[in-house]
Amino acid sequence: MADDTVLPIPNLSLPQHLVILGLQSRVYGESQRLALEKTPGLGSRIDITLTLIRIGFFFGDNTLITENLAGAEKLIEEGGDWDRRNRLKVYRGLHAVSIRQFRLGSELLLDALSTFTATELISYNDFVALAVISNTLTLPRVDLKKKLIASPEVISVLPELPVLEDLLRNLYDCHYAKFFVALGTLSPQSLSMNPHKLTHARYYVREMRILAYAQLLESYRSVTLESLGGAFGVSVDYIDRELSRFIANGRLHCTIDNVHGIVETTRPSIKTAQYEKVVKQGDVLLNSLQRLSKVLY
């Protein structure tokens, strides 16, 4: 069998698929590791390490990705050039998003937006789409216009991605019914269709709904369920079920008065939150000191 022939995978169960994909990633990775050991030049060693990361992405081998990301960062610090540093930033951002570290991943992708060159990993349009998707979730509303809507790189691509444009602009403009339509169009299936777009698609859609609810509720001390349903273009029963679930999970700070059909916001006190944070950090510090004293004495 030729070295560049992909092993055929028959109809197998998911665990069997994962085992075979893991074996394939190891087979392809071994030849690259051998080349890495025998290559003296720093630039070539970085390129081979990035190739190993791409093999990990292709086969979904998270261990291979994390091992070689650390190796690539070490090699870059030894003297990597500007282009390789920027390409590694894209690799790190894509990996962070794939393991649900959206805040870190979105920052890295946004930072690489104007210097993107990693076309060997992901196309430019898909990269911009992923940057928009992740940053729409993590950026404060005041930064959406400055860093995304007004970004020349985003402006050049968004006309080709009308659903993402609707998602971004309607969230910023507080047109929540249109935002929900765009979010519904941007379904979990379409988000995860390309492995480079979004792995945790259902999680993302849920977090975006919470973000929109919280953004609207910030403007009111109380609002009727009927008004909320009308704002999002859904029924009162739907909005009641949604808010109840997110309130019970501690994701939304409000209460529902079903007798009068209103939602009352209950914003947590900043001082109380700071006090709880100090107490929590103090407990961690005391536990660490107790463990240290046992070691020393």
The CATH number of residue 224's host domain is 1.25.40.570
| 61 plus 155 within the same structural domain | no
Of 176, 177, 205, the residue nearest 190 (C-alpha): 205
pLDDT tens profile 57-113? 888 888 889 999 999 999 898 887 889 999 999 999 999 998 889 999 999 999 999
Q: Is the domain of 66 the same as that of 181? A: no
Is 263 a member of any domain?
yes
Q: Which helix (H) or strand (E) holds 194?
A: none
Whether residue 169 lies inside any domain: the answer is: yes
pLDDT given at position 25: 54
Residue 251: give the domain boundaries: 151-286
In a domain, 128, yes or no: no
CA distance linking residue 86 with residue 90, whole number of Å: 7
Residue 126 covered by a domain: no
What secondary structure letter does DSSP report for 6?
A: P
CA neighbor of 53 nearest in space, from 44, 42, 66? 66
- R_g over Cα of the chain: 24
pLDDT, mean of residues 254-264: 92
Q: Tell me whether residue 294 is in a domain.
A: no
Query: Is residue 295 included in any domain, yes or no?
Result: no
pLDDT bin (cut points 50, 70, 90) of residue 286 is confident
- Both 71 and 157 in a single domain? no
Tell me the percentage of the chain whose pLDDT exceeds 70. Answer: 78
pTM reported for the whole predicted model: 0.76
The residue to which tokens 């860093």 are assigned: 147
Give the separation between CA 107 and CA 96, rounded to whole angstroms.
10
163 and 264 inside one domain: yes
CB–CB of 192/201 below 8 Å? yes
* Same domain for 99 and 158: no
For the chain, the domain total comes to: 2
Single-letter amino acid, residue 230: G
Residue 127 pLDDT greater than 50, yes or no: yes
pLDDT confidence tier of residue 28, bands split at 50, 70 and 90:
low
Residue in 121, 125, 51 with CA at minimum distance from that of residue 90? 121
137 found inside a domain: no
Residue bearing tokens 């990993």: 121
